[in-house]
Amino acid sequence: MKRLLQSIGPAIIVAAVVLGPGSILTSSKVGSQFGFPALAVIAMSTILMIAMVALAARIGVIYDNSPCDQLAARLGRPVAVIVGLILFGLVAIFQYSNNVALISGIAPLLDSADGTSSPLTQGAKPAIILIVFNAFVIACLYRLRHLYGSIENLMKWLIGLMVVAFLINFVVVFLTPRGYTPVTQDEAPDIIPLLGMIGTTFSIGGAFYQAYLVKEKGWQLMDARKGLFDSIISISVLGLVTAVILMTATRVFYGRPDPVALGNVGDVARQLQPLFGSWAKIIFCLGIFAGALSSFLVNALIGGTVMSDALGKGSRLGNQWPLALTTAALLSGMIIAIINLRDAQSTVNLIAFAQALTVLGLPALALTLLYLGTRPELTGDRKVPRWIIVLAVLGFFVSCIVAIRTGIAVVGKFS
């Protein structure tokens, strides 16, 4: 059992970055609007994510060099650069939503008793908070020794704490009388949060990074079974936590005669009232802050590492180029957030919108993984199991459909 637990590592980092503050808020929004039927979307997304992460892990152990180096050798360096730019752009969007979620998580903690906002979250103060927090994350990035080991251990603890907290809250919520009779809502639910939840649960960008993480772990072809076990367990935990958050929000918000808009973290925090009473807002917001810490660093590492690899500048954590480009990813998300925060009318809607945009580049990344995983020279032990390829192909088509639907929804928002 101990040896099996030691096999959990790289994919738990992927799960931690996907289960950031934005996905917590987005899942709550989906639960309030769609109810329990949205669980089918989580189940589908989780299964497809397991296949993609397992495929990426297999790619990481069957090739001696990195994925983008393989692409450059087979299709030319420009193709690798395009893939790197796509993933870097997705990371910047996701990082932007993390910054917005961070401010929305801090703001309710500083509200006065009558609900008015504190001066600390008005004017230039949110920008100062984001600058200080990002500076802290960048300092950790450069100061941590044995970066991979430190990140893996931290993610295991954070995921474990999140599982326990949300499960306890889930049980208490369902043991507490609902307090109202659900009614049918007249208005059709907004599709953007649902697309955002798919984009976070079925995060091909996160899955792509698994190929790099298994190399950092030092796994070889003989460790392929560990990679599969790691993928199944870690991503199943991701799906479980997402489902628990959604069901909790459904129980508290769905079908209310007086619908809750869930325009800010204070609204979402009401789902913790049955367990924590008046402490609900504080505990939920601190959870958002903790989720931001884990997601901030690893998400930026994905963009920085893959972009460096795409440029042929190396892909090992701790090297100069990956660190510099990771810093660029952090700063990009921060700057976009600072520019847009002053115009944000509803932070939860803004986060859900940003999360939905991340699906637009998924088909290209899925196609890249499929290309590397189906080369004819991959035979014998190096051959990727057929069931992984079949599910990955299905995931590619799903990503195409979701990307098209997201594009239509985004155009509709601005038309």
What are the pLDDT digits (tens) for 9-33? 688 888 877 777 777 778 888 998 8
Rounded to an integer, the average pLDDT of 204-229 is 88
3 state DSSP class of 181: coil
Are the C-beta atoms of residues 84 and 314 closer than 8 Å to each other? Answer: no
Contacts (Cβ under 8 Å, ≥6 apart) of 280: 269, 270, 271, 272, 273
Contacts (Cβ under 8 Å, ≥6 apart) of 270: 252, 253, 260, 280
Q: Is 60 exceeded by the pLDDT of residue 351?
A: no
User: Per-residue DSSP letters for 239-304?
Assistant: HHHHHHHHHHHHHHHTT-SS-----SHHHHGGGGHHHHGGGHHHHHHHHHHHHHHHHHHHHHHHHH
The per-residue pLDDT of the chain, averaged, comes to 80
Structural tokens at position 256: 């209310």
φ, ψ dihedrals at 225, nearest 5°? -65, -35
Are the C-beta atoms of residues 100 and 350 closer than 8 Å to each other? Answer: yes
- Distance, CA of 110 to CA of 266 (rounded, Å): 11
Contacts (Cβ under 8 Å, ≥6 apart) of 272: 169, 280, 281, 283, 284
Structural tokens at position 10: 């790289």
- Distance, CA of 346 to CA of 104 (rounded, Å): 10
Lowest model confidence (mean pLDDT) among 13-17, 293-297, 410-414: 410-414
Q: What is the pLDDT of residues 52-104, one digit of tens each?
A: 999 999 999 999 899 999 999 999 999 999 999 888 888 877 788 778 777 76
CA 405 → CA 144, 194, 198, 202, distances in Å? 41, 11, 12, 15
pLDDT at 227: 85
Structural tokens at position 283: 């505990």
Are the C-beta atoms of residues 34 and 189 closer than 8 Å to each other? Answer: yes
Contacts (Cβ under 8 Å, ≥6 apart) of 220: 61
pLDDT at 6: 57
Contacts (Cβ under 8 Å, ≥6 apart) of 222: none
pLDDT at 345: 47
Spacing of C-alpha 243 from chain mean position: 14
Angle, helix 204-217 to helix 39-62, in steps of 10 degrees: 40
Structural tokens at position 295: 């997601």
∠ CA 373-199-170, nearest 5°, is 115
pLDDT at 216: 86
More confident residue, 127 or 262: 127
- Distance, CA of 288 to CA of 25 (rounded, Å): 9
List the one residue out of 41, 17, 337, 32 whose CA is nearest residue 151.
Answer: 17
3 state DSSP class of 187: coil
List the one residue out of 79, 95, 179 whose CA is nearest residue 133.
Answer: 95
Contacts (Cβ under 8 Å, ≥6 apart) of 146: none
HSE-CB of 310 using CA atoms within 13 angstroms: 21
- Distance, CA of 19 to CA of 155 (rounded, Å): 11
Q: How many CB atoms lie within 10 A of CB 145?
A: 7
CATH 1.20.1740.10 describes domain 2-414: yes
pLDDT at 29: 86
Rounded to an integer, the average pLDDT of 250-279 is 69
Lowest model confidence (mean pLDDT) among 114-123, 315-324, 355-364, 378-387: 114-123
3 state DSSP class of 361: helix
The one-letter code for the residue type at 386 is: R
List the one residue out of 154, 158, 89 whose CA is nearest residue 354.
Answer: 89
Structural tokens at position 244: 């628990």
Identify the residue whose tokens are 């004017």.
123
- Distance, CA of 249 to CA of 142 (rounded, Å): 38
- Whole-model pTM: value is 0.85
